Structure 1
Amino acid sequence: MKRILIYLLLFMSTLALGQDKVQYKIDLNKLANDRLEVVVKTPKFKQKEVVYALPKIVPGTYANYDFGRFVQEFKALDAQGKSLRIKKTGPNTYQISNASQLSEIRYFVDDTWDSPEIAGDYVFEPAGTSFQKDSLYALNTHAMLGYFIGHEKAQVQLSIDKPAQFFGASSLQNKSKASSDLFEANHYQDLIDAPLMYAAPDTVSFPLANAKILISIYSPNKMCSAAQVAEQIKPLLEAQKKYLGGQLPVSNYAFIIVLSDNIKNGSYGALEHAQSSFYYLPEGNIQTLAETIREVCAHEFFHIVTPLNIHSEEIGNFNFLQPKMSKHLWLYEGLTEYAAHHVQLKYQITDLKKFMSTFENKWEVMNVQFDRKLPFTLMSEKVLDKYKDEYGNVYQKGAWLGFGLDLTLRKLSQGKYGTQEMMRDLAKFYGPNQSFKDDELFEQLIQITQKPELKTFFEKYVAGKDEIPVADWLHSIGYEIQEYNASPIKSLGFDFQSLNVNAETHRAVINSEDGINEFGRILGLQAKDEIVFINQLSFSLDSFSINAAKVLKDIQLGDILEIEVARPKGNGTYETVRMKAPFQTSMGSAPTSFVPQKNPSDAQLELRQQWMNSIP
């Protein structure tokens, strides 16, 4: 009965719009002042007023971006081209009067990659836009196109006029045979979930199980090609296909890759979508990029499971202006990160030594940079504000939660059932059109796996403050933590692993007091200090590693080390703090490694083998 009511409401909403589509048009041939014009042909509205909105945030980003700030010269017009009254009611919203007369909206948008004059938070490049005439148009359309509040489920259409030499790469299928591309989607969220890249074509496509895979790359200096990327990731994708049961939950998938020879802010990465992923990586040849591409692609491709087939109501009914975040980043990002490494181990793309080394590093970063006792569900709920600095832990502790859950399940099932099988069963229960309730997920997982013991796991390590029992999990497969004695080391006063990057200032930040060693305390370093100069050498992101190595190589005991930091004052401003002290070595934190036990039991070896080589 409830399902019938929902369909009825959607049907009535469609009737209210007169079954019209929202039609967007962009002409890439008319770039002016580094801006593109967006034209929106609107449905027939019956109400007196309607609000056109651009997103404050989009799924997968976990940051407030306010894309409306990139909009200029907004106009609402009737069928005769006369202006209707508009009122800007917020950074992302425009209220339009006499909506029944509305025929068209026009405005200009700046790109996010190269608009320093526009105030606000830095937009991570894989979530933004770049307009480079004659070379590249990177179009995450959520940064350009809006929607009508209350009519988010209206059908949409996007027409793009392009330079003749350009190809439009996307998971969306081009419906046009003419010079203009035409894309259609069931509604706004489906449209913006499919980024586009326009550039001179460098693409490869091939079948994978039931799906067609597209790889499209932009390399400004032609240092890397789509064919080379395909050669690197084909074995990975074949392994992931097996990991997912031999079939994929999508019919097509696009890898859209931008390589940059000018990484300005020191950060790069990718953003996942249901049927594609968008990459922003430093340009290099395939030898230097191969491992990075495999690691990033492995993670992003697995997002076809989450959130496409498994997602909470907060994502299924995403609110682009006032988002409510799900409690389950451990599932979306953590378990995805774990699977991206486990699949490579299981199908011999990597070996156990490399896998363990990767998780050693995750453990160390987790312990140095993040709050080990912060409940993951609480961090997830508050990740946009109170705990935004803890987000990076989804790839550290989140991956460890996946590792621990997999071992726990396999131990409970004599090796026959793990997270690989659990995610398949969970996807069958929900699927792309059914969301789970945040508060019910743990219980649902217990029912699906038929393992009531998981209640303790979730209560302690995901929703609770208990530190994860890394040593116990390793012991279950015949591994142990080996510690070494600390020894004197040269240091600039802080642990390099404790550093983050401030996306606004583009400076390295000492993340916490734990990252400051004895010499750093003598200098007077504090948590949240941003490094500017050391011994008069710039420590900007592009010179940080080179100059740090130079200082450490040249300085001797007793030499004066001078450091300048920008220290936040709490109101968005900084004070310059200069400090100096005679250089001295510090006792390095005791390094650790995960090593096989000398005499593991048969049970430990059996579980290890079942975990590494479980049946597909």
Structure 2
Amino acid sequence: MITSFLKNSLVTALMIILFGASAAAQQVYQYSVDLTKLTDDKLQVELIAPAITQKEIHFYLPKIVPGTYMNSNYGKYVQNLRAFNKAGKALPLEKYGDNGWTIKNAAQIYKVDYTVEDTWDATIDNKVYSMCGTSFEAGKNFILNTPGLFGYFEGMKQLGFNLSFTKPAGFYAATGLVPTSTNSSTDVFTCANADHLYDSPIMYSLPDTATIKVGKTDVLVAVYSPHKMATAKFIAAHMQTLLLGAKDYLGGKLPVEKYAFIFYFNGEQPKSYATGAWEHSYSSFYSLNEEPEKQAVGGWVSVAAHEFFHIVTPLTICSKEVRQFNFNETVLSKHLWLYEGSTEYFSQNMQAWSGIITPEKFLENMSQKINYSREAMNDSLSFTELSKQSAGKYADQYGNVYMKGALINNCIDLYLLQLSNAQYGLRQLKHDLGVLYGKDKYFEDDSLFSVIVKLTYPELGTFFKNHVEGGTPIPYETYFAMAGVDYIPSEDYKDFTLGGVMLNDTPDGMIKVGIKDLNEVGRKLGYKEGDILISLNDSLVNAKNLETRISGLFKNAKEGDVMKVKVKRLNAQGQAEEQLLQGTMAKVEKKRKHVLRFMSNPTAEQLRIRNVWLNGHAAAGAANAER
């Protein structure tokens, strides 16, 4: 028999347990968005807040997010932010900078709501990378890069987030997140904390998806192409080759169990700023121009290779600045050579190593990077200084992280292979760094170089000191020679020409001619400033197919062949009319810089390094045959 005292004690204990469970349940951000209710290109966002004890608190949307090196200031797109207590009474608040609000009587906060304008076609004075932005198109498509919609309270980034979306009929959420519940009208997703939330883009549209199985990894390819010029099935077939190559390149398995490639092909939105892609731990989002898939898929796959390899750096190997990211202060790591540089190098090297592109094409790509970094960028700028100031003082040099950054890693790879007798390269180094740190740990920014030297060779410390921390240009002839590749600073050659014309894209996708540097072939053809190209030897030309048309024209040409160029030109009355320009094919003297070319007689050591560097499958096959 239970006594009255025991009954009271049990009731008290049960109440404590229930209250504790209730309090714990409240310690999560409960967000809801109705995608069926879009007003003036704006969405309404509602938040049932976690419990707060402070008298006042700051509420933020991010200023900057990982993987970007500019301040996005997502708070600028938020309007009419309000906070309420449980009785529905509005609480006093005031704006705090571009991205924050200070809410008074914060312990009473029950609900926060606000409207959000999408970034792609907003007219406010701000700029967000298109691949990191938002777009709301009723009945068509919703791009929900989460930092553009959802905020957090200061000091409470580690709480969980529940996201509830009411969706249009038939719409599907393409994302790396797994829904906790889903039906025909609603999806619910859960994120562990703010880092997880902002690492998880979502695209809503009518579904066009395909799934690839690569080892134990399920890979989703989701596509929105308004004019049906691209399809998930076609892209997935080409992505499979990439992912199989990546699996082998990374040692036989992919480091994630699920991954999503989310493609938005812009055939409707303003094209006021650059396209691109944004990497995440379990997905990547692509904002690209809509083009015929057969023509453009090679470029799409190359971009996807880069973003996919970010699962290694910085999503697995990174510094404290990245792992404990400050969303509202611009605090960057000095190791962009690793995060972006090694990722870009891996994306290119893997394609050669696995046979997706030829070794010659790989050298051509690296040559282009040397050209860009030495001719258009400051080649004497410390790369660590560039990294720390890439969102500020050196923002104009940021593009070099994909050029010289990749070259730094190429040279490190070759140097390691030479020092180890072709037994240990950059892939093995990044594997060892991944084991040492992994997704839950980080390195100190100032210690990484010494850690790498301990893992490898003292000579690498000198390389870092001179060419990464220091501003000494890399002697490419030294490092590429390790694999039997000549570096030629400059050489003269003869090749066919269209006439020395400048070719510039027009807003409607055509090609306008400039005649400042016409050569003899161009003068004989009779170009005029402002001519619009229509065709080359009866093959229609536009901005998308120009390179293909030119290479096709030159490929089988012989000197003296007829060359016909049809142009559109304004007559004396200002009216456009077509004219046929006719001349002959001829080669002219040209100059090219920073050429990489395989040596004709490499040594056995150079060949051994070259095979491991660029021909991994063949090298492995030969080794197995010898056994």
Fold agreement, TM-score > 0.5: yes
Q: Within the alignment, does 1:310 sit opposite 2:312 as a pair?
A: no
3-state secondary structure, aligned to 1:476: helix
Q: In structure 2, what is the equivalent of residue 574 of structure 1?
A: none
Tell me: CA distance 1:431–1:365, structure 2 relative to 1, closer, same or farther (3 Å).
same
Give 1:101 shift: 0.8
Give 1:549 shift: 5.7
Q: In structure 2, what is the equivalent of residue 281 of structure 1?
A: 288
After superposition, the C-alpha distances for 1:492-528 in whole angstroms (9 at most, x for unaligned) are 89xx9xxxxxxxxxxxxxxxxxxxxxxxxxxxxxxxx
Q: In structure 2, what is the equivalent of residue 134 of structure 1?
A: 139
Tell me: CA distance 1:266–1:191, structure 2 relative to 1, closer, same or farther (3 Å).
closer
Q: In structure 2, what is the equivalent of residue 156 of structure 1?
A: 161
3-state secondary structure, aligned to 2:322: helix
Q: In structure 2, what is the equivalent of residue 613 of structure 1?
A: 615
Alignment gaps of 5+ in structure 2:
1-20, 531-587, 621-627
For 2:276, which of 260, 265, 269 is the aligned residue?
A: 269
Q: Is the 8 A contact 1:86 1:96 kept in 2?
A: yes
Q: Is the 8 A contact 1:17 1:45 kept in 2?
A: no
Q: In structure 1, what is the equivalent of residue 180 of structure 2?
A: 175
Q: Is the 8 A contact 2:175 2:200 kept in 1?
A: yes
CA-atom RMSD, angstroms?
2.6
Give 1:211 shift: 2.0
3-state secondary structure, aligned to 2:221: strand
Q: Within the alignment, does 1:474 sit opposite 2:476 as a pair?
A: no
How do 1:178-257 residues align onto structure 2 when only pairs under 5 Å count? Answer: 178=183, 179-257=185-263
How do 1:496-515 residues align onto structure 2 when only pairs under 5 Å count? Answer: none
For 1:388, which of 378, 387, 395 is the aligned residue?
A: 395
User: Which amino acid in structure 2 is aligned with residue 464 of structure 1?
Assistant: G
For 1:371, which of 378, 382, 385 is the aligned residue?
A: 378
Q: In structure 2, what is the equivalent of residue 65 of structure 1?
A: 72
3-state secondary structure, aligned to 2:207: coil
After superposition, the C-alpha distances for 1:375-394 in whole angstroms (9 at most, x for unaligned) are 10000001111000111001
Q: Is the 8 A contact 1:153 1:187 kept in 2?
A: yes
Tell me: CA distance 1:196–1:610, structure 2 relative to 1, closer, same or farther (3 Å).
same
Q: In structure 2, what is the equivalent of residue 39 of structure 1?
A: 46
3-state secondary structure, aligned to 1:355: helix
Q: In structure 2, what is the equivalent of residue 55 of structure 1?
A: 62
Q: In structure 2, what is the equivalent of residue 521 of structure 1?
A: none
Greater radius of gyration (CA): 2
Q: Within the alignment, does 1:328 sit opposite 2:335 as a pair?
A: yes
Tell me: CA distance 1:279–1:355, structure 2 relative to 1, closer, same or farther (3 Å).
same
After superposition, the C-alpha distances for 1:24-63 in whole angstroms (9 at most, x for unaligned) are 1110000011100000110111110111101111111101
Tell me: CA distance 1:551–1:227, structure 2 relative to 1, closer, same or farther (3 Å).
farther
User: Which amino acid in structure 1 is aligned with residue 177 of structure 2?
Assistant: L
Between the two proteins, what is the percent identity of the paired residues? 37
3-state secondary structure, aligned to 1:160: strand
Q: Distance in 1 between matches of 2:594 and 2:389?
A: 32
Give 1:370 shift: 0.5
Q: Is the 8 A contact 2:71 2:330 kept in 1?
A: no
3-state secondary structure, aligned to 1:458: helix
Q: Is the 8 A contact 1:52 1:147 kept in 2?
A: yes
Give 1:144 shift: 1.0
Q: Is the 8 A contact 1:78 1:84 kept in 2?
A: yes
Number of aligned residues: 533
User: Which amino acid in structure 1 is aligned with residue 119 of structure 2?
Assistant: T
Q: In structure 2, what is the equivalent of residue 510 of structure 1?
A: none
Q: Distance in 1 between matches of 2:458 and 2:487?
A: 29
User: Which amino acid in structure 2 is aligned with residue 54 of structure 1?
Assistant: L
3-state secondary structure, aligned to 2:244: helix
Q: Distance in 2 between matches of 1:356 and 1:219?
A: 33
Q: Distance in 1 between matches of 2:42 and 2:419?
A: 58
Q: In structure 1, what is the equivalent of residue 462 of structure 2?
A: 456
Tell me: CA distance 1:550–1:26, structure 2 relative to 1, closer, same or farther (3 Å).
farther
Q: Is the 8 A contact 2:500 2:515 kept in 1?
A: no
Q: Within the alignment, does 1:593 sit opposite 2:598 as a pair?
A: no
Alignment gaps of 5+ in structure 1:
1-13, 497-538, 563-585
Tell me: CA distance 1:373–1:309, structure 2 relative to 1, closer, same or farther (3 Å).
same
3-state secondary structure, aligned to 1:438: coil
Q: Distance in 2 between matches of 1:324 and 1:245?
A: 34
Q: Distance in 2 between matches of 1:211 and 1:411?
A: 34
For 1:111, which of 99, 118, 126 is the aligned residue?
A: 118
Q: In structure 2, what is the equivalent of residue 532 of structure 1?
A: none
Q: TM-score, normalised by structure 2?
A: 0.81
Q: Distance in 2 between matches of 1:227 and 1:544?
A: 27
User: Which amino acid in structure 1 is aligned with residue 138 of structure 2?
Assistant: K
Q: In structure 1, what is the equivalent of residue 149 of structure 2?
A: 144
Tell me: CA distance 1:17–1:387, structure 2 relative to 1, closer, same or farther (3 Å).
farther
Q: In structure 1, what is the equivalent of residue 4 of structure 2?
A: none
Q: In structure 2, what is the equivalent of residue 439 of structure 1?
A: 446
Tell me: CA distance 1:38–1:296, structure 2 relative to 1, closer, same or farther (3 Å).
same
User: Which amino acid in structure 1 is aligned with residue 379 of structure 2?
Assistant: R
Tell me: CA distance 1:259–1:253, structure 2 relative to 1, closer, same or farther (3 Å).
same
